[in-house]
Amino acid sequence: MRVKGGSTTRQRRKAIKRKVEGAWGTKHTSYKIARQTLIRSSEYAYRDRKARKRDFRKLWNTRINATLRSMGYNYSTFINALHKNKIAINRKMLSELAINNPQEFKILVEKVMKK
pLDDT, residue 60, reads 96
Number of Cβ within a 10 Å radius of residue 26: 11
pLDDT, residue 113, reads 87
pLDDT, residue 2, reads 80
Residue 88's φ and ψ, nearest 5 degrees, are -100, 95
Of 46, 41, 43, give the one whose Cα is nearest residue 21: 41
pLDDT, residue 114, reads 85
Pairwise CA distance, residues 78 & 5, whole Å: 66
pLDDT, residue 106, reads 93
pLDDT, residue 48, reads 96
Residue pLDDT, tens place only, 7-66: 888 999 999 999 999 889 888 888 999 999 999 999 999 999 999 999 999 999 999 999
Instruction: Return the DSSP state at 73.
Output: -
